[in-house]
Amino acid sequence: MQAQRIKDLFSAIARYYDFLNALLSLKRDKMWRQETVKASDVKPTHKVLDVCTGTGELALAYSNKIGAEGFVIGSDFCFEMLVIGNQKLERHTSRRNTNFLTADTLILPFLDNTFDVVSVGFGIRNVSDLEMGIREMTRVAAPGGRVVILEFTQPVNPLFRSLYYFYFTKVLPFIGNLISRNKDDAYGYLPRSVMKFPNCDALKKVMEQCGLTDVHFQRKTLGIVAIHVGKKTK
């Protein structure tokens, strides 16, 4: 799917995005983000970049762990999604360590070796060039820093996978498109993009090809999602 098409799709559903994420994941999405932050081994002094941040939920999860000496930046190329994220910051004025900006993950406007953690939650599969996106994330990570990817994946248990696929490909798109009143099948795009996305082992290899070491992953909630973590050594 072309980048402009993806941008238009997410712009159209921005105001429903958080509500539907919670509803369609049975409120597991918050837990997945908290476990991603934990897997990142983030410290209060760290500098964190969350790319494809959307409405900023993962960036805000990091901000809870970052002190005044560190900071969190959430970037996304969809302005309408960032509007929602900035509204959240306005409601929580204590989060002075967090900012959002418009940026394309394929061309990040940051110097090399800047961030202790570079993360992405449920967004890397929407980047038009997966390897280029991960290479950009790696480029801006500091030596010793981590690149962290939280993403949907395909369950490995055959019985659960068949039940989940029915929900994921039939029920979820129907509910999502109905509530968001989306005529472009935005929530049909979700399962299609996940089915095309590399599985856990394949994504691990891509991260290693991008120069990351000690790459490992954790499957969560019977393999619905996975958290990949890789280290930049130099």
Q: Where are the domains of the chain?
A: 3-156+198-232
pLDDT at position 1 is: 52
Model confidence at 182, pLDDT cuts 50, 70, 90, reads confident
pLDDT at position 98 is: 95
DSSP 185: -
What mean pLDDT is reported for the chain?
92
- For residue 88, what are its two tokens? 């959240």
Model confidence at 8, pLDDT cuts 50, 70, 90, reads confident
Is the pLDDT reported for residue 162 higher than 70? yes
Model confidence at 153, pLDDT cuts 50, 70, 90, reads very high
Instruction: Report pLDDT digits (tens) over 184-211.
Output: 787 888 788 888 999 999 999 999 999 9
Cβ neighbours of residue 50 closer than 8 Å, sequence gap 6 or more: 56, 58, 59, 62, 72, 73, 74, 75, 118, 119, 120, 121
**Which homologous superfamily is 3-156+198-232 in?**
Vaccinia Virus protein VP39 (3.40.50.150)
Q: Which of these ranges, 78-82, 118-122, 185-189, has the smallest mean pLDDT?
A: 185-189
Report if pTM > 0.85.
yes
pLDDT at position 93 is: 67
Model confidence at 24, pLDDT cuts 50, 70, 90, reads confident
3-state class (DSSP) for residue 100: strand
* In the chain, % of residues over pLDDT 90: 68
Return the number of other C-beta atoms located less than 10 Å from residue 108's C-beta: 19
Is the pLDDT reported for residue 95 higher than 80? no
- For residue 181, what are its two tokens? 């009143």
User: What value does the mean pLDDT take over residues 128-134?
Assistant: 97
In angstroms, the CA 179 to CA 149 distance is: 28
